[in-house]
Each structure stands twice: as structure tokens, then as C-alpha cells.
Chains A and B, each alone.
Chain A
Amino acid sequence: MRKVLLGAAAAFALTAGTAAAQGISGDVVKIGVMSDMSSLYADVGGPGSVAAAELAVKDFGGTVAGKRIEIVQADHQNKPDVGSSIVRQWIDSEGVDAVADVPTSSVALAVQQVLKDKGKVFLMSGPASSDLTGKACSPTGVHWTYDTYALAHGTGSALVKQGGDTWYFLTADYAFGHALERDTGDVVKAAGGKVLGAVRHPLNTADFSSFLLQAQASKAKVIGLANAGGDTINSIKQAAEFGIVAGGQRLAGLLVFITDVHSLGLKTANGLVITEAFYWDQNDETRAFAKKFEAVMKKKPSMVQAGVYGAVMHYLKAIDAIKTDDGKAVVDQMKKMPINDFMTKNGKVREDGRVMRDMYLFEVKKPEESKGPWDYYKQLAVIPAEEAFRPLKEGGCPFVKG
């Protein structure tokens, strides 16, 4: 009897202890959306990401576990120091519980470090680097939408299957470009294709003519663009001028978003092959989301913005399930629950924080195939999650037990 009583008392003390540690801190769930609001990623994420997070909160009902949900926003101006100081301030003096989006890998890596130290949740949609769930992984970080590995591998393997078995790379001459070229090249070779060669161009090149002529002369079926941002835009534009796609070669963009296609126009971008996690015109659910989004932002959502919506929604559901906003506990709960929303079917958050979801290979339509604005893609293939993302063991995430 005494033992039972003692046990009961101990159990009571234990639950009382955890109950005190749990609950919603500050009686509000605060989500900070940090993005590039005014520069090169402002279209992909930016104000649209804030709108997506607000939509998610609205659709969730505005409260979670009886407490208010609040969204704050900031512009990191693509500077890691600005990003990391804003996040520190958010957590230390404003009681922010989670940070969402954060495009630009260097900023995301800095923010990941801060959030890891502080035990707060990081819902990444914008950043690309696969290191965020590899060497630089965090128990409270969730990488939601895509990563460089998925884009490179998805595009590489899917195109080889479609007959694009000889490749030539146009590579930005720095670590990011080299990694993209190496990753994609490996996949192409593994899938039975051949890499005929590569040409390196300096960062922020204006004139791609000599590089493109080399690529054209290689007679490779696919020209892989292992570059990003303005370099990709310039190389696609100039490739159109040289008639590379019209001449039968295919251009594969390894880091291109629908907003890039929108600004290039179909006349220039047609024939480009791209891997993305989401396209607004895939099915009724994605169209319904796009309609809601368009009512606010007056344009179609990108995959990054759609990802912010999905990640915030899943985060709120996890809080609702365990009635606490403690960072580690919420992320553990997020990892337990399957993800089913308009863009992800039977997805899950893997141990290292990587969200496993199918990716899609798209080709940009010809101008005559398009029925109107934003009608840009036709789907070529579905890339299953297991093929798209890096296997858990190869990531080198320190807290994942091999």
C-alpha cells in the first residue's frame, strides 16, 4: 500500500513537473517569417511567404490549444549577420517560438545554428543547401520543400530515363556550382548516361556566348545549368538566342523557380526542364490553394510559398496534438505525424529533419501550348521521395544513429 502511494505521489510529482515545463510559452504562439523581401529571392519567397503563413494561420482557425497565433516578419537582406541577429532578438526579447522560410543558404545555416542553441523550431522552405539536414542538421530544424540534392538528382535521373543520356555542364565556378555539377554528374552516370564535359564560368557573368558555343558543339543531348540566380537567367536567355533548344538540345535548370520562368517569358524559357516540389496547376487541391493565395498576392504561389503554408500548418497541428510549444517536443511530434495536404501526400519528416515528399519533373511549355498567364509547365515525371532525397545514412547528420 505504501509503495503504491509513494508511486502515485512520484507519478503525480512527475506529471506536475512536466505540466509546468510544458504549455504555451507567453500565452501566444509566435511565428517569425524571415525572408528576402526586396532582392533576388523576394519573388520566390518574400511577402508571398508571409501571406502563405498568414493563410495557414487563418485556415487553422487563428488559435491553437486555446492560445492566439501571431505572425511577425523581417527582411534578412541576404546577410547572415542580419539574419542571425534578428533571430536572436526575436527569441530573447520577443518570445518567438518558430522561424519560417529563410531563403539563401548562408543565412539559413546561420539561423539554424542560433535556433539549435536556443531549442526553437526552424521551418525551412526557402533555403536549398542539403547540408541543413546533413552536417549542419538540428533536432529542431525541419527542411520542408526541396534541397539541392533533390533538384540535382531528380533532374539527372529522370532526364536520363527519358533518353537524355549525354550531358554537358555549364557550371558556376565556385563551391556551390562544383557541388551541383558533381552530384548531378554522378546520378547521370549511375543511371547509365555519359557526361561529355563541362565548362566553368565566373560568378555573375554577363556574356555566356563562348561557354554556350562549347556546350552546343559538344552535341550533348542535355545541357545542365549548374548555376543560380542571375547567371541561370542570363544563360537561359542567351541559349535561346543561340537556338540551342530549337536545335534539339535540352536545357536542364538545376536551380530554377517558376518565378524565373515568369520573368523570362515562355518564348525564351520553353523547353527548359526543371524539378520542383509543387506547381499550382497539378490538381484540384493545388488549384484551390493557388486561388486562395492569388486573392491576397495577385499572383500564383511558388513552391517555396506553398511550402511555408504546409510547414506552418503541420507545426500548428503538432502543437494542437501535444498542447505545448516547446521546440524539441513539437518537432518530435511533427516527425510522428504523417503529412497530408494539398501539395504533399503521405509525406513524413525524417529523423534528420528532411521532409520526404515526391518531387516532379516539369518541362516549360511552348508559347502556343500555354492557355494564359502562369500556364507554364507540363509534368514529365513524378520522382518518388526515396529517389529524390539523399539517403539518411549519407547525410552525416551527427545525431542520427547509423
Chain B
Amino acid sequence: MTNGTAKLGTWAGAALLAVAIVLPFVVYPVFVMKALCFALFACAFNLLIGYVGLLSFGHAAYFGIGSYVTAYTVKAWALPPELGILLGTAVAALLGVVFGWLAIRRSGIYFAMVTLALAQMVYFYALQSPWTGGEDGIQAVPRGHLLGIFDLNEPLVMYFFVLGIFLLGFFIIHRTIHSPFGNVLKAIRENEPRAISLGYKTDQYKLLAFVLSAALSGLAGSTKSLVFQLASLTDVYWTMSGEVVLMTLVGGLGTVFGPVVGAFIVITMENYLARYGSWVTVIQGIVFVLCVLAFRRGVVGEIIAFVQRRTVRAPGAATPAHAPGE
């Protein structure tokens, strides 16, 4: 990471935090909450593809199971929301251990296919088993009171609860990437045989990153089920896995803020274009084509590349710009 991008990152982080605090007073809070949940989901996904180089095509499984478990435990067992979310996250992490243990034995397209196949199993399980409510999902989930004090039915209270969860998740991811553990992950992404030859047990690192990513996806799903007070098959279907890939790509693969920006862009399109009826899909398609053709590094990736070019040019140094790494 060059000095310029580091500074940019700090500034951008501070600016985004300020925006996040003001946003619910300007924009519709439920919409921002939804975007935050998906931003966390995309960040968790990005941890795996951007920093370990593993393309999972089955992240909907963890997102969905988190959402189902929280919705069910809060509704049927009347658990408080914080316990429901913890439980949802824990189950997603557990699923991540099992699926990750199976999937990391392969790489590339085989890894993607294995994760997709396992995720589809979760989808069919959700469709079949009675507790998930089949195609109707679990509806009318009560939001309850956080720690028995804060009434989450108040939109603003709920919003700051969601923002808190998002920041926690984001902080965990940020710490992970910038720790020695994160550096090993990046080494694995760049050259796995070399990482092995240096004595790292890469499988263990990959599995740990996988479980972390699954748990945070579950956390995002759990939170979403409380925001919308429902869990449905949409959350576990493979199109959800596709959507999170798109969010990450549009925002910028392997950048810290990219998935957040990408999630906001995709959710905004989904929400605000809804009134144009069948044009939604067409407009979405055009945006993605433009993104892939014109700025392949994603929105944030391009900004970082731009700043890097500027800072490199300024002192007159001749070092070429890096690919957006961090």
C-alpha cells in the first residue's frame, strides 16, 4: 500500500462514517439498512475472493442459513434479537467449517462448482424442511428489544443497531487483512506453492479464511432477517450468490471499500429502478457491461489506481502503478 492510498483510505473511511450517521435522516432508513447488510455480505465475500483468491459461488448458503436460523429462533423460541443473531452467525460458521473443509481441497473452477453444489443442497433443504416454511419463508419475525432495553421497532434505533453490526464486521475484516495472517493469505493468493515452500500450512489458512467469511455472511443474513422481519428462499437461492459476486466486481475486487460501494450501487438500482418495471434488468445489464468494459477494476479500484498514478507522478519517480492490492 502506498502512502497516498493509505491516506485516501483513512479519509474515505471517515467520510463514509459521517455519511452513514447522517444518511438515515435524509434517505429512507430501511433502504440504508438493507444496503448495509448487503455491504457486509459483499465484504465477507471479498475477504475470500479478493484476499485469498478463492471464488466461492455458494455464499448464499451462509447468508441464507443465518437469516433462517435467526428468523426461526427469534420467532418460534422467542429469543432476544442479539442471541438470535449470534446463533445465526454460529450456525453459518459451522456450515462454513464443513463446506470449507470439503471445498478447499480443490481450486479454481472446481472450487467454485463444489461450493455451488453444496449451496444448492442448502437451498433444497430450506425448500423441503418444515421449519423454514418452504416457498413462503418465515414471515412476521418480531424485531424485539435489544438487550431488553432498546426497542428495535423504532426505525432509527434499528438503524444504528445495524450500523453497529456492520462496523463490527467491517472492523474484523479490516483487522484480518492487515494482520500477519492477512499477509499470509495474500501470499497464498499470489503464489501458493511458494507459500507452501516457506512452511505455511496453506490449507489451514484457507479454511480459517473460509470460515471467517462464512460466519460474517451469516451475520449479514441474520441482521437482514431482522430488518425485513422475514427469511425467504431468495436468501439461499444461487442468484443471491451471483448478486454478491456482482456487487464485489462493480465496487472493486480486493479493495476494502469496494464491496460497500458495489453493494450500495446494486441495491440502489434494485430499489429505485423498481418503478420502471421490466427495464430494471435491462438497465442492470447495461451497467454491468459498462463496468466490465470501461472500468474493470471496479469503482473503488479505479479511484485507487487514479490516486496511485497521481502520487507516483508527483515526485517524478518512475515506479509503475500497482494493481489495486489493498
Residues of chain A having any CB pair with chain B under 8 Å = 37-38, 42, 46-47, 50, 72-82, 84-86, 88-89, 92-93, 105-106, 109-110, 113, 129, 131, 136, 173-176, 202-203
Contacts and interface: CB of A to CB of B under 8 A. Distances in A.
A81 B136 contact: no
Given A80-B228, A81-B230, A82-B274, A175 B140 contact: no
10 contacts: A37-B277, A42-B278, A78-B234, A105-B135, A105-B136, A110-B139, A129-B136, A174-B127, A176-B134, A203-B124
Given A81-B34, A81-B232, A81-B234, A176 B275 contact: no
A78 B127 CA distance: 16
Nearest to A202: B124
A73 to B, nearest CB: 6
Given A88-B30, A106-B137, A38 B271 contact: no
A113 B277 contact: no
Contacts of B134: 174-176
Given A75-B280, A175-B134, A82 B270 contact: yes
A38 B281 contact: yes
A71 B199 CA distance: 67
A88 B31 CA distance: 10
Contact of B34 (A80, A85, A113): A85
B130 interface: yes
Nearest to B140: A113
Contact of A86 (B140, B224, B271): B271
B2 interface: no
Contact of A174 (B34, B135, B270, B274): B135
A74 B232 contact: no
B133 interface: yes
B28 interface: yes
A176 B34 contact: no
B204 interface: no
B202 interface: no
A81 B270 CA distance: 11
A75 B271 contact: no
Given A86-B271, A113-B139, A174-B135, A75 B232 contact: no
Contacts of A78: 234
A243 to B, nearest CB: 32
Given A92-B28, A175-B130, A80 B270 contact: no
B138 to A, nearest CB: 10
Contacts of B232: 79-81, 106, 110
Max chain B Cβ within 10 angstroms of own Cβ: one of A77, A85, A89:
A85
Contacts of A42: 278
B74 to A, nearest CB: 15
B231 to A, nearest CB: 9
Interface in B112-136: 124, 127-128, 130, 133-136
Contacts of B230: 80-81, 84, 109-110, 113
Interface residues of B, number: 31
A113 B229 contact: yes
A110 B135 contact: no
Given A38-B277, A79-B234, A84 B228 contact: yes
A106 B277 contact: no
B215 interface: no
A93 B133 CA distance: 31
B240 to A, nearest CB: 9
A206 to B, nearest CB: 15
B274 to A, nearest CB: 4
Ranked nearest first, the 5 interchain pairs of A and B with the lowest CB-CB distance are A175-B134, A37-B277, A38-B278, A74-B274, A80-B232
Nearest to A110: B230
Interface string B268-303: 001100111110110000000000000000000000
A45 to B, nearest CB: 11
B212 interface: no
A74 B228 contact: no
A175 B135 CA distance: 7
Given A73-B277, A80-B232, A110-B230, A85 B30 contact: yes
Contact of A136 (B139, B228, B274, B277): B139
Given A131-B136, A175-B128, 7 more contacts: A37-B277, A42-B278, A80-B137, A80-B234, A89-B31, A110-B137, A175-B127
B135 A89 contact: no
Nearest to B127: A174
A85 B128 CA distance: 27
Contacts of B139: 80, 109-110, 113, 136
Max chain B Cβ within 10 angstroms of own Cβ: one of A80, A88, A129:
A80
A89 B28 contact: yes
A132 B232 CA distance: 17
A82 B234 CA distance: 10
Contact of B30 (A79, A89, A129, A131): A89
Nearest to B123: A203
B233 interface: yes
B275 A75 contact: yes
A163 to B, nearest CB: 34
Contacts of B271: 82, 85-86
Given A85-B228, A110-B228, A77 B127 contact: no
A74 B135 CA distance: 22
Nearest to A38: B278
A109 B136 contact: yes
Contacts of A109: 136-137, 139, 230
B136 to A, nearest CB: 5
Contacts of A81: 34, 224, 228, 230, 232, 234
Given A89-B31, A110-B139, A136-B139, A72 B128 contact: no
